[in-house]
Amino acid sequence: MRPAILNPLFADITVLSGVGPKIAALIARAAGPRVVDLILTPPSGLIDRSFRPTIADAPEHRIVTLEVTVDRHHAPPKGKRLPYKIICSDESGFLTLVFFHARQDYLQRALPEGEKRLVSGKIEDYGGARQMAHPDYIADPEKPGDMPLFEPVYPLTAGLTAAVMRKAVTQAVARTPALAEWQEPTWLKARKWQGWKESLVAAHSPEAQEDLSSMTPARQRIAYDELLANQLALALIRKARVKSRGRVIKGDGRLIAKTRAALPFDLTNAQKDALKDIFEDMRASERMVRLLQGDVGSGKTIVAFLSMLAAVESGAQAALMAPTEILARQHLESFADLADAAGVRMEILTGRDKGATRGEKLSRLKAGDIDILVGTHALFQDDVEFRDLALVVIDEQHRFGVRQRVALAHKGPKPDLLVMTATPIPRTLSLTAYGDMEHSRITEKPPGRKPVETRAIPMSRLDDVIAAVKRVTAQGDQAYWVCPLVEESDVIDLTAAEERFESLKEVLGERVGLVHGRMSGPDKDAVMERFYRGELSVLIATTVIEVGVNAPNATIMIIEHAERFGLAQLHQLRGRVGRGDKKSSCILLYKAPLGETAEARLKVLRDTEDGFVIAEEDLRLRGAGDVLGAAQSGFPQFRLADLAVHGELLAAARDDAKLIMERDPELKTSRGEALRALLYLFSRDDAVKLLSAG
C-alpha cells in the first residue's frame, strides 16, 4: 500500500483551489491528472519582472515593472466597449493605464490618485502615448512582496492560461510533504544536493534562464531520484524473476549440429557469442530473460531458431511471436527447410486461424505434436496450451514493456524468454528500458553484405528519382517508397501516401501497391504479400514497413521528407534493402533548405551503417524524448531525467540500485522505507508489489 504521507500528492488536481473540472481537464492534458504530476512538471520558461526602466525608456514587447505616481482617473467611459483610463507618470513622462470592462471601485482602491504604485506588464505606444493595458500586477512599492519578481511558466495547452497553471503548480508544490531522505547523505553531500523538498521548491523557482536547465543541482537531484526509482524497480523485477526459478534446458546438440551442417553459411562470431550466452542461460536453473539486439539483417533469426532447437532437443517446445501476421509467415517459410532437415515439427498460429483448423492445431500443440509454434500475439490467448513450453522468443518487440515483463514474471510455468529487437538502442536507454534483462548485441553483419549507397537528394529533383525507380524496376528489381510522417497524424500521412500512389501509378502502371496504417491487418498483409511475391514492383508505405517484410529483390529505398524521420527510423528503413547480393541504394528525399541538425543527422546516416553508432548520435542530436518517439511506447517516460544529458547520473543510479539490492533487498531498513516512498512517487507501483508486504 502507498504510504499515507503521499496521499496529498496522489489526490486529483481538483483539490487545488481554482481548479474545477474544466480546468482540471486542461491541466491533465498539459501535465497529468494528479497533484504529483504537477510537482514533477518542471517549468519551461520564466517571466522576469526585475527589469525596472523609466516610462520613457521602457521598450515595447517586453515585460517591465514601472514605479509610477497615479495622477488622475478619467471619468468612467460612456460606452461599454470603451476603456477606463488612468493617467500616471514618473519623472521621465506619462503612462496611460487602460482597462476594459473595469470595475471602478476596484480600480480606485488599487490605484488611488496621488499614490505611488508598481505596475508590471507590457507597454505599447498608442496614438503617440505610452500605455499599458491590464497590468499583470499592481503593487504598493512599500510592499514589493505582493508582486513576484520571477514567475515560472509551465507547458500549457489550448485554453489554459499561464497564470492558472502556475497557481495550480504552486499549490501542488506547497502540498508536498517533507519525506524521509532516501538518498545516501554522503552522496548528497558529494554532489552538493539538497533534500527532496528543497530541490523541488528550487526547481520551481527559477530566477534566470540558467535555472531552467536540466543541469541545475535541484533538477539533477530530482532527475537522479527518478532514475533511481527506475533502476530500483528494474532490480526488483529482476530479483523476483531469479527467485522464481526456471528450469534447466540442456539439449544433446543433435538437432543443432544437423541444422548448422545444413546452413549455407557459417555463423558469424557475433552470432556464436550470442548463442553461447543464450545456451548458458538456458542451461542455468535461473530463468532466462535476455534481450538480443542487432541491426536489421544482422542474422538474429537464425540465432532464435537454433535457440529454439535447444529447447526441442531437451524434449520441450518453443514459441516465436512476431508482431505481424506476415512476419510470422516469413519466419515460418525461412525456417521450413531447416526444420525439415532437422525433423522438427513447426506450425503457425495467427488471428486468421479459426474454428476447426485452430482447434486441430491447439490439440496437436497440447499433445506435443508441434515442436515449434510461430505466430502473432494469438500465441498467448488463454486457450492456447502447450504440452511443455520451455522457450519463448519475441521478435521485434518495442512494446514489450516492463508491465508485460512483470506480468510474465507472475505467470504459471515459466519459460525462458528471448526478446529480439532490431532497433539499436543507445546504451543509456537500454539500461532504463531493459535494465532487468541480460543483453546480447550482434554488432557484426554477415560477410559479403554490400553497403547500401545512401544519398540525400532535394525534393526538387523528384523527377530524376522517379526516372531511376522506373529504370530499376524495369530490370526486375523492386523499390520501397516511404511517405512522410506528418505530425504523427494518420490522416495527413495518408493523403501524402495516396497522392504519391496515384502519381507513381501514372508513371509506372499497375505494379504499384500502397499500404498504410489505417488499413485492416489482412488488407495490409495482402498487399505486402504481393510485394514479397514479386507481383508488385513498388511498395508505397507510411512507416508500417518499419518492422517490415524481407524482400531480397528490393534494391532501392526512397524516403520522402527524410528530414522528418528519426535517425534510427531511417536506418531501420534503409535496412529493408541490401538484403540480397545486388547493389542497393537508399535515397533520402528532403525539402530544402535543411536545418543544421537535420543536415547533421542525414550526414551520420550517409557516413555509417552501424546502427549502434547511429542510435548514440540520434540521442545526442535530438534528446531522448524524440529518439523514443511514439512508435516505441514501451519505453519508460521520464518526467525530469533527460537521458541525453543525465547519462552519468543513470550509471550512478544503476550502481546505487545494485548496492541497495545487496544490502536491503526487501527494503526493510529505514532507508528502504524511504525508498518505497520514492518508488510510489514515480509510479513504480508494479515493482513495489513484488516486495513482500512490510
**Which of the ranges 180-188, 289-297, 335-343, 618-626 carries the binding residues for ligand ADP, by CB under 6 A?**
289-297
Q: Tell me whether residue 384 or residue 393 sits nearer to ligand ADP (CB atom).
A: 393
Shortest Å distance, C-beta 515 to ligand ADP: 20
Q: In angstroms, what is the minimal distance from the CB of 571 to ligand ADP?
A: 13
DSSP per-residue letters across 185-203: HHHHHHHT---HHHHHHHH
- Residue 298 touches which of Mg ion, ligand ADP, none (Cβ within 5-8 Å per kind): ligand ADP
Tell me the window of 95-103, 294-302, 454-462, 514-522 that interacts with ligand ADP (CB under 6 A): 294-302
Residues in Cβ contact with 421 at an 8 Å cutoff, skipping those fewer than 6 apart? 291, 292, 293, 396, 397, 398
- Candidates 120, 176, 259, 268; binder of ligand ADP (CB under 6 A) is 268
What would the x/- binding string for Mg ion be over residues 244 to 283, using CB under 5 A? ----------------------------------------
271 binds ligand ADP (CB under 6 A): yes
Nearest to 412 by CA among 379, 438, 437, 389: 389
Shortest CA distance to 282 belongs to which of 313, 254, 257? 313
What strands, in cross-sheet order, belong to the sheet with 478-482? 453-458, 585-590, 554-559, 478-482, 538-541, 512-515
Q: Which stretch binds Mg ion (CB under 5 A): 293-301, 365-373, 565-573, 598-606?
A: 293-301
Contacting ligand ADP (CB under 6 A), which of 301, 317, 421, 543?
301
Stretch that binds ligand ADP, among 70-78, 298-306, 482-490, 535-543 (CB under 6 A): 298-306
H/E element, 315? none
**Closest distance to ligand ADP from the beta carbon of 601 (Å):** 23
Q: In the complex, what is the shortest distance from the CB of residue 350 to ligand ADP, in angstroms, rounded to a whole number?
A: 19
Give the burial class of 28: count Cβ atoms within 10 A of its Cβ; 0-12 exposed, 13-18 middle, 19 or more buried: middle
Could you write out the DSSP letters of every residue in 264-301? SSPPPHHHHHHHHHHHHHHHSSSPPEEEEEE-TTSSHH
The only residue of 123, 302, 379, 417 in contact with ligand ADP, by rule CB under 6 A: 302
Closest distance between Mg ion and the C-beta of residue 274, in Å? Answer: 14
- Between 334 and 503, whose beta carbon lies closer to ligand ADP? 334
Residue 95 or 296: the one with the smaller Cβ distance to ligand ADP is 296
Look at residue 294 and give the partner it binds from Mg ion, ligand ADP, none, a contact being a CB closer than 5 to 8 Å depending on partner kind. ligand ADP
Quick note: the x/- pattern for ligand ADP over 627-646, rule CB under 6 A, is: --------------------
List Cβ neighbours of 167 (8 Å cut-off, separation of 6 or more). 16, 17, 18
Residue 267 binding result from ligand ADP, Mg ion, none, given CB thresholds of 5 to 8 Å by partner type:
ligand ADP
Cα–Cα distance for residue pair 545/396, rounded to 1 Å: 12
Residue 368 interaction partner, one of ligand ADP, Mg ion, none, beta carbon < 5-8 Å per kind: none
Strand order in the sheet with 372-375: 346-349, 372-375, 317-321, 389-395, 416-421, 289-294, 438-442
Pair type for strands 346-349 and 317-321:
unpaired
Size of the chain in residues: 694
Question: Of the ranges 59-67, 137-145, 294-302, 537-545, which one interacts with Mg ion (CB under 5 A)?
Answer: 294-302
Residue indicated by cell numbers 503593487: 139
Shortest distance, position 159 Cβ to ligand ADP, whole Å:
46
Which of 644, 509, 632, 512 is closest to 566 using CA atoms?
A: 632
Q: For ligand ADP, give the closer residue by CB, 83 or 294.
A: 294
Cell of 75: 471619468
Question: Interface with ligand ADP includes 298 (CB under 6 A)?
Answer: yes
- Of 77, 351, 446, 534, the one binding ligand ADP (CB under 6 A) is 446
Rounded least distance, CB 554 to ligand ADP, Å:
13
Please name the residue that has the C-alpha cell 547500401. 452
**CA 515 to chain centroid:** 25
Residue 275 interacts with ligand ADP (CB under 6 A): yes or no: no
- Span from 112-120, 121-129, 196-204, 290-298 in contact with ligand ADP (CB under 6 A): 290-298
Q: Choose from ligand ADP, Mg ion, none: what does 152 bind? Cβ within 5-8 Å by kind.
A: none
Using CA atoms, how far residue 5 sits from 13, 180, 184, in Å, is 17, 10, 21
Which residue lies nearer to ligand ADP by CB, 351 or 446? 446
Is residue 296 a contact point for ligand ADP (CB under 6 A)? Answer: yes
By the rule CB under 6 A, 422 interacts with ligand ADP: yes
The nearest distance, CB 300 to Mg ion, in angstroms, is 6
Please report how close the Cβ of residue 338 comes to ligand ADP at its closest, in angstroms.
10
Cβ atoms 49, 65 nearer than 8 A? yes
Give min distance, CB of 298 to Mg ion, in A.
Answer: 9
| Residue 100 binds to ligand ADP (criterion: CB under 6 A) | no
CA atoms within 13 A on the CB side of 163: 4
Residues 6+ apart with CB under 8 A from 74: 84, 85, 86, 87
Q: In whole angstroms, what is the distance from residue 603 CA to residue 390 CA?
A: 45
Determine which residue in the list 42, 83, 152, 294 makes contact with ligand ADP, applying CB under 6 A: 294
Binding-site size, ligand ADP (CB under 6 A): 14
Amino acid at 569: Q
What is the Cα–Cα distance from 626 to 638, expressed in whole angstroms?
A: 12
DSSP string, 427-467: HHHHHHHHTTSEEEEE--PPTTPPPPEEEEEEGGGHHHHHH
User: How big is the chain by its Cα radius of gyration, in Å?
Assistant: 31
Choose the stretch contacting ligand ADP; rule: CB under 6 A; options: 127-135, 291-299, 397-405, 592-600: 291-299
| Burial class of 112 by CB neighbour count within 10 A (0 to 12, 13 to 18, 19+) | exposed
Binding status of residue 265 toward ligand ADP by CB under 6 A: yes
DSSP for 21-33 reads: HHHHHHHHHHT-S
Of 233-241, 278-286, 299-307, 540-548, the window that binds Mg ion (rule: CB under 5 A) is: 299-307
Interacting positions 361-380 with ligand ADP (CB under 6 A) = none
Q: Which residues bind ligand ADP (CB under 6 A)?
A: 265, 267-268, 271, 294, 296-302, 422, 446
Q: Which residues bind Mg ion (CB under 5 A)?
A: 301
